[in-house]
Amino acid sequence: MAEEKESLFSKKNLQLLTGPLGSQNPITVQVLGICSALAVTAKVESAIVMALAVTIVVGVANMAISLLRKTIPNRIRIIVQLLVVATLVILVDQILKAFSYGVSKQLSVYVGLIITNCIVMGRMEAFGLGNKPWPSLLDGLGNGLGYGMILVIIAVVRELFGAGTITLPIAGELRIIPEAFYTACGYENCGFMLMPPMALIIVAVIIWIQRSRNKDLIKK
Amino acid sequence: MKAIENWIQKTKPNFEKGGKYEKWLPIYESFETFLHVPGTVTTTGSHVRDAIDLKRALIIVIFALVPTLLYGMYNVGSLFYTSIGEDYTMMEAFGYGFIKVLPLIVVSYIVGLGIEFVFCYIRGHEISEGYLVSGLIIPLIVPVDIPLWELALAVAFAVIIGKEAFGGTGMNIVNPALLARAFLFFAYPGNMSGSSAWVHSVEGKATVDAFSGETILGQLNAGVAPDAIHGVANNQLSVCDLMIGNYAGCVGETSVIAILIGAALLLFTGIASYRIILSVFAGGFVMGLLMNCLAPETNYVMQLPAFQHLLIGGFAFGAVFMATDPVTAAQTNTGKWIYGFLVGVFAIMIRCFNPAYPEGMMLSILLMNVFAPLIDHMVVKANINRRLKRAKAAQETVTNA
């Protein structure tokens, strides 16, 4: 191996981490992981927890697959990937149940469904199987964060306009739109925001804004 | 008229390429073509499809909406005075309703056209008047007491998500006016359903004892027998009343007679498709009959006579003004029959089986809007197959002979 030794945070590696936040975003550009974006974004708290869970799972799973990439027979690679992911997800699930039961209840099956999250499988197939462990870890974390970023944006919009509050982990429920607004100005919460279709519409609007700013993303 | 034309001749160069106000051409042009049929002609072969252009067609729909609008204004005032137990003359009722409905129309137009202008300006498109009709339909299909900011939000949502996201006038998949109503229905259910939403009320004015502000569908869902449906002052409603429309409901949906006047104008001018209107009513009637046969003892919505189903709620309004929207309806003639029939069927079905959504017409038209392209596709495919078969048969007879 005559390859040059790359520093841990070379430009190329950093790109792996930051790319998914912008022009490589898993939700808005690759349109993966929509299902959970729709299900867990009614409250900011659950969105943040979900984002963290997915980030950890993708990052670690990607690295694990990358470590194993030379020993996994090609024909059973999906099974191996699933095993790795399932192990991690069960870990996350148990930790959530132990330390944050309320959130775990809210997220219900969606924690378990991280196993089938398209982003997790996609990153392992597309990146982990063909790259070294360190870049794989960065790529996984980057994609998890990119996913989480969109999730939190959607959740903030939905909860703010749907319930007038922002629920953060630890801090709890914060009322953003004051009560006086409801009584004095006749303001009402938008019930539509709390329904799943609105999450899709917000994703669509984010995609729209992103593509009108970055014309390279528009497919010919 | 001549003076306007001269003025346009004089100012136009300023807006054309290289002129001082080049950027404002779309907006300028929209006003110019609003006043005159544009002088633009095709440079290559011409493709005449119709003698009237989009603007003229839309203006006729506006005219067709006027009877429902006028009756709706009168009805708002009349129901209000009845509910507080005061006497009123026809002009008083109309005047009061006019003052209440006008802000809805103004808000709808300002927000909707404003957004359209902005998008056309950004994209450099010619502004088309697709919103003219939607802008008048939206105030007609909401309760009169809807807060104006909610209406503005719904209009913005409908125009941006329902129309501009797909490329503007003529490109939308679902009817923008109905999308605005659906948005209100799901976002602010408190203002769009229940017994207090439909009749205008003023704080501090007590209502008469017998007052009941529930719509007919609401009454049926609440357990009022079909032969006991009543108006706002607990007056028994006859079929004749249902035709005239002096009961609670959205601003423009109650009067079947006014809607039929509009329908006659639309059909006479050929703007709306008689296939769709007829088949919507047919579908609703057939489904209504079916429901009558199946109705259990306690389900009053299902027991309602089929023809009355066609007179209440938004059924007639939807059939005439919304299902016929040429952009979102099916395009093929056979497709129009199927599309209309299914709109009617689903409207009654939703009414009967889902008490949470008393007005099935909105959801059923939105649903069929989505399916219209599929229906067209099937019709075209079937036609191709039929002709292929015919060609094959003809070829076989030739080779056999």
Model confidence over A37-96: pLDDT tens digits? 888 888 888 888 888 888 999 999 999 999 988 888 888 888 988 899 999 999 988 998
Overall average pLDDT of the B348-364 stretch? 85
* Residue B211 to residue B208: CA distance in whole angstroms: 5
Those of residues 22-41 in A touching chain B at CB distance below 8 A are none
Return mean pLDDT, chain B.
Answer: 85
Q: How much is the average pLDDT of A154-169? A: 86
Distance CA(A173)–CA(A179), nearest Å, equals 14
Q: Can you give the pLDDT at residue A6?
A: 64
Which residue of A195, A204, A208 is in closest CB contact with B186?
A195
Confidence category of residue B154, pLDDT binned at 50, 70, 90: very high
d(CA B394, CA B373): 31
Please tell me the predicted confidence (pLDDT) of residue A28.
81
| CB contact set of B244 (below 8 Å; sequence gap of 6+) | B255, B256, B257
Q: What are phi and psi of A44, to 5 degrees?
A: -65, -40
pLDDT tier for residue A1 given thresholds of 50, 70 and 90: very low
pLDDT in the model for residue B26: 67
Look at residue B41 in the predicted model and tell me its pLDDT: 64
Interatomic CA distance for residues B318 and B26, integer angstroms: 32
Paired with B396 in beta bridges are none
Nearest to B350, CA basis, from B358, B340, B339: B358
Give pLDDT, residue B195: 74
Question: Over 70: is that where the pLDDT of B248 sits?
Answer: yes
Tell me what the mean pLDDT of segment A148-170 comes to. 87
| Cα–Cα dist B256/B188, whole Å | 27
Quick check: B161 and A204 CB within 8 A?
yes
0.90 surpassed by pTM:
no
CA B49/CA B214 separation, integer angstroms = 47
CA-nearest of B55, B184, B210, B218 to B128 is B55
What's the per-residue H, E or C state across chain A? Answer: CCCCCCCCCCHHHHHHHHHHHCCCCCCCCCCCCHHHHHHCCCCHHHHHHHHHHHHHHHHHHHHHHHHHCCCCCHHHHHHHHHHHHHHHHHHHHHHHHHHCHHHHHHHCHHHHHHHHCHHHHHHHHHCHHHCCHHHHHHHHHHHHHHHHHHHHHHHHHHHHHHHCEEEECCCEEEECCCHHHHHHHCCCCCHHHHCHHHHHHHHHHHHHHHHHHCHHHCCC
Average pLDDT, chain A: 84
CA B133/CA B170 separation, integer angstroms: 13
User: SS3 for B92?
Assistant: helix
pLDDT band of residue B227 (cuts 50, 70, 90) is confident
- pLDDT, tens only, B41-67: 667 766 666 666 777 788 889 999 999
pLDDT digits (tens, 9 = 90+) for A99-126: 888 888 888 788 888 888 888 888 888 8
Show residues of chain B in contact with A188, CB under 8 Å: 147, 150, 188, 190-191
CA A109/CA B25 separation, integer angstroms: 55
pLDDT at residue B344 greater than cutoff 90: yes
DSSP B236: B
Q: What is the pLDDT of residue B208?
A: 75
Half-sphere exposure of B65 (CA within 13 A, CB side): 24
pLDDT at res. B371? 94
Residues B262, B324 contacting (CB under 8 angstroms):
no
* Option in A192, A205, A208 nearest B183 (CB): A192
The larger pLDDT score, comparing residue A66 to residue A179, is at A66
Residue A171 pLDDT: 76
pLDDT for the residue numbered B373: 93
A194 in contact with B, Cβ within 8 Å: no
Residue A19: exposure state from Cβ atoms within 10 A (0-12, 13-18, ≥19) = middle
**Cβ proximity of B81 and B92 under 8 Å:** yes
> Which of the two residues, A187 and B174, has the higher pLDDT score?
B174
User: Strands A172-175, A165-168: parallel, antiparallel or unpaired by DSSP?
Assistant: antiparallel
User: What Å distances lie between residue B123 and A204, B23, B384, CA to CA?
Assistant: 19, 11, 38
Where does the pLDDT of residue B378 fall: very low under 50, low under 70, confident under 90, or very high at 90 and above? Answer: very high
Q: Residue B184: closest CA among chain A residues belongs to which residue? A: A192
Does A79 contact chain B (CB < 8 Å)?
A: no
Mean pLDDT over B380-386 rounds to 95
Q: What is the pLDDT of residue B39?
A: 62
* Spatial CB neighbours of B79, under 8 Å, sequence gap ≥ 6: B199, B200, B232, B246, B247, B248
pLDDT of B376 over the 70 cut: yes
For range B138-158, the mean pLDDT: 91
Task: Express each pLDDT in B312-342 by its tens digit.
Answer: 888 999 999 999 988 889 999 999 999 999 9
**pLDDT at residue B151, as a whole number:** 93
User: Could you tell me which residue, B289 or A171, shows the higher pLDDT?
Assistant: B289
Among candidates A34, A47, A33, which has minimal Cα distance to A162? A47
B142, pLDDT greater than 70:
yes
Q: Chain B residue closest to A200 (CA)? A: B161
**Quick one: average pLDDT of A195-215?**
87
Residues B55-83 have a mean pLDDT of: 89
Q: What's the angle, vertex CA B122, arms to CA A155 and CA B49, rounded to 5? A: 110
Does the pLDDT at position B27 exceed 60? yes
Residue type at A73 in one-letter notation: P
Q: What torsion do the CA atoms of B147, B148, B154, B159 make, to the nearest 10 degrees?
A: 170
Please check the confidence at residue B20 and state whether its pLDDT lies above 70: no
Instruction: Give the pLDDT band of residue A2 (cuts 50, 70, 90).
Output: very low
Question: What confidence score (pLDDT) does residue B42 get?
Answer: 64
Contacts of B391 (CB under 8 A, 6+ apart): none
For B284-289, what is the mean pLDDT? 93
Per-residue CA distances from B214 to B96, B147, B222, B360 (Å): 21, 19, 9, 16
CB-based contact A190 B153, cutoff 8 Å: yes
Q: pLDDT band at residue B38, thresholds of 50, 70 and 90?
A: low
Sort out which chain A residues have CB atoms less than 8 A from B186's CB and list them: 191-192, 195
